[in-house]
Amino acid sequence: MNRVLSALLVASCVVSLSHARAEVTLLEPERVFDGSDLHDDWIVMVSDESILYAGPDDKAPGVSIDTVLKLEGQTLLPGLIEGHSHVLLHPYNETPWNDQVLKESEAERVVRAVNHVRDSLLAGVTTMRDLGSEGAGYADVSVRDAIDKGLIPGPRLLVAGRAIVATGSYGPKGFHEGVSVPLGAETADGFDDLIKVVRSQIGRNIDFVKVYADYRWGPSGAAAATFSLEELKTIVETARSSGRGVAAHAATADAIERAVLAGVETIEHGDGATPQTLRLMKKNGVALCPTLAAGDAISQYAGWEKGIDPEPERISRKRESFAAALDSGVDICFGGDVGVYPHGDNVRELEMMVEYGMTASDALRAATSGNADIFHLDGQLGRVKSGLLADLLVVKGNPLADISALRQVSLVMKGGVVYVHPE
């Protein structure tokens, strides 16, 4: 915490000196992962909020350097871009989802979110796509704006506000018909209603629309598709005319197919993707956000003792489905559904991506340049490249050799401001 406070003081000094020449910081790590490739002989210069230079030492521009950070044995990479978070949720083994939605006030949930976004930033996550407030209205929009105004430390947020669900599909459930409860999302159905709801969410200044293309409302509680193809197309067209994309929660092949044909940009979870639906996703440039760590955490909350008990069928199926997704060549987004498990433990998803068969370099690419491309942030973020925003992470060791090295955070910089200082 002291390191955060000192960073905030540094930030205010930067503002007061804004008429002076921008300070230049030189970072000298052992190696640089630039978002695509590893370089052993690179240095990085930061000026103001941007990367001034990234490349070999002998080609660096001749500018006077104010601060030198020697980072021996350490790896510099772009700040991580978490692709699937819920800053307004906390782990379900602390409080079940239903109770968070029904019993925690919006004020309590926002207070928790302030801690969650700080923990995420200190873990090296400098950008985060948040997949819905789950009953907390547009509090995510306000948290995003509070971070941007410099009121609290946190990653750059892309937020969905209230996710859109079909009538009858979403929870909390299990109450008799005389009891009305607040839902974890906003219901809408049919052409006129969906247009109105999407437009009202756009008016609240969400960054993208989240829709539940399926949910657990089958006859025996299994996941089944919710919206028709035409309804999903209506959502996508309405969002797109305002310059916004759509992310679809979809676990069944049926819902994935409808969502992809409708034009969504990402499929969240995707457990039931078939070879056909994966081909369709690849053909249409739709990325998969597999959320491996969420399923793993939920199975453990249900009593699975990982490493002792045999692997539950749900987990084995998820391993197979992730392997099939890798084989298909579909773009994989790094997004773990963090919030189901503790905020700040984002690296858990990357460790599982590697455990389930992805190379460490591909996992790092997904968490940096890959997600920047999927979320239309390329040109600003996700690479160590001159001209881009200085959102940087330095870790001890080499995460390409051992992805868990990402847990040894040494420096976190967002927009040129240092939030975690090297010791």
Residues of this chain that bind Zn ion (CB under 5 A): 131, 337
Which CB, 337 or 373, lies closer to Zn ion? 337
DSSP alpha helix (H) spans, 17-138: 97-103, 106-122
Residue 272 Cβ vs Zn ion, minimum distance, rounded to whole Å: 16
Amino acid at position 319, single letter: R
Edge-to-edge order in the sheet of strand 156-159: 80-85, 125-130, 156-159
Residue 37 Cβ vs Zn ion, minimum distance, rounded to whole Å: 31
Strand partners, 418: 413
Residue 340 Cβ vs Zn ion, minimum distance, rounded to whole Å: 7
Phi, psi of 35 (to 5 degrees): 110, -20
Whole-angstrom distance, CA of residue 54 vs CA of residue 116: 31
Phi, psi of 175 (to 5 degrees): -105, 150
Which CB, 154 or 290, lies closer to Zn ion? 290
Which CB, 144 or 383, lies closer to Zn ion? 144
Which CB, 88 or 197, lies closer to Zn ion? 88
* C-beta neighbour count of 301 within 10 angstroms: 15
Which CB, 154 or 339, lies closer to Zn ion? 339
Residue 406 Cβ vs Zn ion, minimum distance, rounded to whole Å: 22
Residue 87 Cβ vs Zn ion, minimum distance, rounded to whole Å: 11
CA atoms within 13 A on the CB side of 318: 22
DSSP alpha helix (H) spans, 204-359: 229-241, 253-262, 275-284, 292-301, 313-328, 347-355
Residue 10 Cβ vs Zn ion, minimum distance, rounded to whole Å: 34
Amino acid at position 317, single letter: R
Which CB, 53 or 334, lies closer to Zn ion? 334
Whole-angstrom distance, CA of residue 258 vs CA of residue 191: 16
Contact call for residues 184 and 162 (beta carbons, < 8 A): no
Residue 234 Cβ vs Zn ion, minimum distance, rounded to whole Å: 23
Which CB, 278 or 298, lies closer to Zn ion? 298
Residue 207 Cβ vs Zn ion, minimum distance, rounded to whole Å: 15
Which CB, 131 or 141, lies closer to Zn ion? 131
Residue 324 Cβ vs Zn ion, minimum distance, rounded to whole Å: 21
Residue matched to tokens 């928790």 = 112
Which CB, 189 or 337, lies closer to Zn ion? 337
Whole-angstrom distance, CA of residue 131 vs CA of residue 249: 9
Whole-angstrom distance, CA of residue 239 vs CA of residue 220: 33
Closest to 278 measured CA to CA, from 295, 248, 315, 253: 253
Q: What is the distance of C-alpha 159 from the center of its chain?
A: 10
Whole-angstrom distance, CA of residue 83 vs CA of residue 308: 30
Is residue 393 helix, strand or coil? strand
Residue 134 Cβ vs Zn ion, minimum distance, rounded to whole Å: 8
Q: How many residues does the chain have?
A: 423
Which CB, 55 or 295, lies closer to Zn ion? 295
